[in-house]
Amino acid sequence: MIEETTVTLATVVSLNRRLPRAVWILQAGLVFNALGNGAVNPFTVIYLHDVRDIPLGSAGLVAATSSLAALGGALTAGSIADRLGPRATLLGGLALAAGAFACYPLIRATCMRSSWRRSPAPVVARG
């Protein structure tokens, strides 16, 4: 175990010498972004369910859709960066994400809202 840890630390130190500082700053930003999204998603579901009165299933679907959109964006970002440049791609992606999060307070209802209230499922789900 100790030898594996030493090899890993040696690898990280050797990578640090090879990569430019800008790459390390970008990767650190991506780590913080991933941590922030991971911390926000559960609270997004709670916000949509408790504050906006969206059914829990629909709120979970919103969070899942957000994650799938991030995955799709990550898969296509490389080819977009080749065409437009990495800085424009990054700024465009961040602007789209900020715009999507800014629209959350505008959510008032879902198409399932009226049928959800009439069905016996909420009574069963709440115990």
Which of 67, 61, 72, 74 is closest to 40 using CA atoms?
67
Q: How many domains does the chain have?
A: 1
pLDDT digits (tens, 9 = 90+) for 56-97: 888 888 888 888 888 888 889 889 989 998 888 888 888 888
The answer to whether residue 26 sits within a structural domain is no
Please name the residues in contact with 54: beta carbons below 8 A apart, sequence gap of 6 or more. Answer: 48, 62, 107, 109, 110, 113
Between 61 and 17, whose confidence is greater?
61
Q: Strand, helix or coil at 114?
A: helix
Report the mean per-residue pLDDT for the chain: 75
Q: What are the angstrom distances between the C-alpha of 89 and each of 7, 84, 117?
A: 35, 7, 43
CA 50 to CA 47: how far, in whole Å?
Answer: 5
The answer to whether residue 100 sits within a structural domain is yes
The answer to whether residue 78 sits within a structural domain is yes
The answer to whether residue 28 sits within a structural domain is no
Q: What is the pTM of this model?
A: 0.56
Mean pLDDT of 32-36: 84
The answer to whether residue 97 sits within a structural domain is yes
Residue 34 pLDDT = 81
Question: Residue 79's CB: how many other CB atoms inside 10 A?
Answer: 10
Domain that holds residue 101: 36-110
Query: Which residue, chain included where needed, has tokens 């100790």?
Result: 2
